[in-house]
């Protein structure tokens, strides 16, 4: 059914007034225009990328036959053309998102192409890390001058690749400390966009890219006390989870709440990692406790833990501590257990108790809120925990099979009981 066809019928039936009908028509016009504008931006960006790739392919086909001077001209031609287009957009179409995003994307890749071509023509030495660093530094102003969200997204991908290339893939590897300055440089753009248009598709993607980028880059800081980075990561994921539960994100779905999703997944994965006795044995064998406070990993873990604790206190300042989400404060007892694990094997028992308590609390929360998603999350955690524990025992396959059947029956029964309770409340 079309809204335009239904409105006269609704007016005639006296269901809505003519004034209401006009408001409905205006609303759908704005909604339709917004959808068209988003599609225009997407196709504009794709068009800019395809044009850039087409130019590169045409030049590459005849590259060997060109003189050094001709190659230099062709190397700078896309850059000059893209800069001219950006200047045109700033002067003539500054309010058009489609024009701004398309022109900026074209210029972003033109800068990278020009750097690589000039390096190849004149045999300028360098590696991929230095190329990515120079490229990102040159394109950093684009997100602010052009007010381009797409430039920010490509920039985040670029600096993340730079951190991974420098800290993981290169040999010998080194810690890309400059990454953190590059990361800070994008935050003003992120906060500005979040304040002006929190429902933007760009901000949704950026909400995912920023925490993923930090998660990837944090590991590049590890050195001799690499096992301490587990503690740093646990505090980081807890920090993400706390952010995901603030007033700006708490009402969003998990798909749109990247901080809560990444944080909860990270916390649970690390808890299951800590539940193996082999992890703690390796921790006690490798770490030199005498010089622990002199390692960079110790101070990194401490800084992230203090940041997570400070933000948790700030977030709960005007709220009851009974309302605190289950996974928000779990990093505090885990840190204590981590310290105990330096000296005693009882840490593995304590971690398994925490996993069991967390799963039970989540199941209770799902039951109280009549929420199938939360209930099944708690059931899934306890199921994974039971399966992992049974895989590490010498129980027979028959007993294992019966226990798995019992878990399946438990899943079915819990969901059936919840649905039955919902139907009863609806009646």
The per-residue pLDDT for range 332-362, each reduced to its tens digit, is 999 999 888 888 888 888 998 898 888 888 8
pTM of the model: 0.81
Per residue in 360-377, is it b (16+ CB within 10 Å) or e — as a string? eebbebbbeeeeeebbbb
- Per-residue burial over 236-245, b = 16 or more CB atoms within 10 Å of its CB, e = otherwise: bbbbbbbbbb
Those residues whose C-beta lies under 8 Å from the C-beta of residue 27, and which sit 6 or more positions away, are none
Residue 32: pLDDT over 50: no
Band (22; pLDDT cuts 50, 70, 90): low
ω into residue 158 within 30 of 0, thus cis?
Answer: no
- Count Cβ atoms below 10 Å from residue 222 Cβ, excluding itself: 20
| Contacts of residue 414, Cβ cutoff 8 Å, sequence gap at least 6 | 363, 375, 379
**Cα–Cα dist 162/140, whole Å:** 14
Residue 341 near residue 347 (C-beta atoms within 8 A): yes
> In 287-396, which residue ranges form alpha helices assigned H by DSSP?
296-315, 331-340, 346-368, 372-391
Residue spans per domain, the chain: 227-336, 345-427
Helices 258-274, 277-286: crossing angle, 10 deg rounding: 80
Q: Compute the C-alpha angle 378/381/386, nearest 5°.
A: 125
pLDDT at 4 exceeding the cut of 80 = no
For 358-402, how does the pLDDT look when each residue is reduced to its tens digit (9 = 90+)?
888 888 887 777 777 777 788 788 888 877 777 666 655 666 666
pLDDT in tens, 136-175: 999 999 999 999 898 999 999 999 999 999 988 886 678 8
Burial 386-408 (b: 16+ CB within 10 A, else e): beeeeeeeeeeeeeeeeeeeeee
């Amino acid at each position: 059914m079309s809204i335009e066809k239904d409105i006269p019928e609704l007016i005639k039936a006296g269901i809505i007034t003519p004034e209401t009908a006009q408001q409905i028509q205006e609303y759908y016009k704005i909604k339709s225009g917004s959808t068209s504008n988003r599609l225009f931006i997407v196709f504009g960006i794709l068009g800019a990328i395809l044009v850039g790739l087409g130019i590169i392919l045409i030049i590459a086909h005849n590259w060997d036959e060109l003189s050094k001077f001709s190659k230099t001209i062709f190397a700078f031609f896309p850059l000059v053309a893209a800069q001219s287009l950006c200047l045109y957009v700033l002067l003539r179409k500054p309010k058009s998102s489609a024009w701004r995003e398309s022109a900026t994307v074209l210029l972003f890749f033109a800068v990278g192409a020009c750097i690589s071509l000039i390096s190849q023509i004149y045999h300028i030495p360098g590696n991929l890390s230095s190329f990515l660093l120079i490229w990102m530094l040159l394109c950093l102003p684009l997100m602010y001058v052009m007010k381009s969200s797409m430039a920010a997204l490509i920039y985040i991908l670029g600096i993340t690749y730079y951190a991974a290339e420098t800290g993981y893939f290169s040999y010998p590897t080194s810690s890309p400390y400059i990454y953190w300055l590059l990361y800070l440089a994008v935050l003003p753009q992120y906060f500005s966009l979040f304040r002006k248009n929190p429902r933007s598709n760009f901000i949704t993607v950026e909400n995912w890219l920023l925490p993923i980028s930090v998660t990837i880059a944090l590991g590049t800081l590890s050195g001799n006390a690499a096992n301490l980075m587990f503690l740093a990561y646990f505090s980081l994921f807890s920090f993400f989870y706390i952010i995901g539960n603030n007033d700006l994100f708490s009402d969003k779905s998990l798909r749109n709440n990247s901080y809560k999703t990444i944080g909860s997944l990270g916390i649970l994965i690390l808890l299951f990692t800590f539940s193996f006795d082999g992890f703690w044995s390796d921790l006690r064998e490798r770490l030199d406790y005498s010089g622990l406070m002199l390692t960079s990993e110790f101070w990194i873990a401490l800084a992230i833990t203090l940041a997570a604790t400070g933000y948790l206190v700030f977030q709960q300042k005007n709220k009851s501590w009974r309302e605190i989400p289950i996974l928000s404060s779990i990093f505090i007892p885990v840190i204590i257990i981590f310290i105990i694990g330096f000296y005693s094997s009882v840490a593995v028992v304590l971690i398994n108790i925490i996993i069991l308590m967390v799963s039970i609390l989540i199941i209770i929360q799902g039951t109280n809120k009549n929420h199938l998603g939360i209930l099944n999350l708690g059931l899934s955690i306890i199921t994974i925990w039971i399966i992992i524990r049974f895989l590490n025992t010498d129980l027979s396959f028959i007993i294992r099979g019966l226990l798995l059947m019992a878990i399946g029956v438990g899943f079915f029964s819990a969901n059936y009981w919840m649905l039955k309770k919902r139907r009863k409340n609806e009646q």
